[in-house]
Amino acid sequence: MPLQGRFLGRVVIGLGLLAWTVQPASADTGRVISVGGSVTEIVYALGAGSKLVAVDQTSLHPPEAQDLPDVGYLRALSAEPILSLAPDLVLVEADAGPPEVLTQLESAGVTVARMPDQPDIGGVQQKIREVAAALGLESKGAELASQVGADHDRVIAQVGKVQTRPRVMFVLSAGRGAPLVAGEGTSAESIISLAGGRNAISGFPDYRPLSPEAGVAASPDVILVTYRTMRLLGGIEGLVTLPGIVGTPAADSRRIVSIDGLLLLGFGPRTPEAVATLAEALHPGLQVTRR
């Protein structure tokens, strides 16, 4: 799930701003750049935050990550700002790119470690173990993966007792055109299912614009958005008047759930917290014990 805004105080490294020299390939992980919010969270959860010399624009948690130099947006990277910082290792999420930039980094002698991206708890644990392995922290990775798995199992056991599964429509973004909604196989569908809901959208994969007819036919009980989307739309009233959303049960009842995008869709160490938070929003009266 993409996050493009950063808070004030971030140091932006621009193209051509610093001279750079190519470092030889090395097993040293003393200087690390993390690209992808969930990967950055894992680095900090492993106690390796002091190794980071820069992060990307989606790395918003923990807050101290926002004080590091910013090498750009996850899917629109450039090699020069990264190479200017002489990293030993660049950790990237699966959808980081463009691919030719990652190839350029490797050609310059930088180790690029690509992390898996499977939106379930097994995928989270695998990502943790692979980040840990790249940092030479295998034992810490195994411990963290085990703890996150135990937290997840505890939350899922409680969510599994709910009696209803509301139809949820996730709106990724909305501008002047039709809103984009999450279809089958998306991270949004996965987190909705884990939290005891059902994706109201079916029949297509990934994200597509929502037509007025399709929105009414989906008949969502709940509209799910990120904080960023809610801000862009000017709040609930702006959202419920959008074509495809106006006239739905969720819009009529004002059942709108807004959650931090990285927490909701990041599938990192906080995934059990994301499931619990969404489950409580979807099932009024449910109180989930986290740990």
pLDDT value at position 175?
59
Identical fold, 11-115 and 167-282 = yes
User: CA 53, 58, 60 angle in degrees (round to 5)?
Assistant: 75
Contact yes or no for 98/106 (Cβ under 8 A): no
Write out the DSSP string of 160-226.
TT-S---EEEEEEE-SSSPPEEE-BTSHHHHHHHHTT-EES--SSBSEEEPPHHHHHHH--SEEEEE
Contact yes or no for 128/269 (Cβ under 8 A): yes
Contact yes or no for 245/222 (Cβ under 8 A): no
pLDDT value at position 28?
57
Superfamily covering domain 167-282: Nitrogenase molybdenum iron protein domain (3.40.50.1980)
- Per-residue model confidence as pLDDT tens for the chain (291 residues): 444 344 333 433 333 333 333 333 334 568 999 999 999 999 999 999 999 999 999 999 999 999 999 999 999 999 999 999 999 999 999 999 999 999 999 999 999 999 999 999 999 999 999 999 999 999 999 999 999 999 999 999 999 999 999 999 999 875 566 789 999 999 999 999 999 999 999 999 999 998 899 999 999 999 999 999 999 888 999 999 988 999 999 999 999 999 999 999 999 999 999 999 999 999 999 999 987
Question: pLDDT tens digits for 94-111?
Answer: 999 999 999 999 999 999
Contact yes or no for 247/22 (Cβ under 8 A): no
Rounded to two decimals, the pTM is: 0.88
Top CATH class of 11-115 equals: alpha beta
Domain range list for the chain = 11-115, 167-282
| Phi-psi group of 36: left, alpha or beta (phi > 0 → left; psi -120 to 50 → alpha; rest → beta) | left
Number of other CB atoms surrounding residue 223 within 10 Å: 29
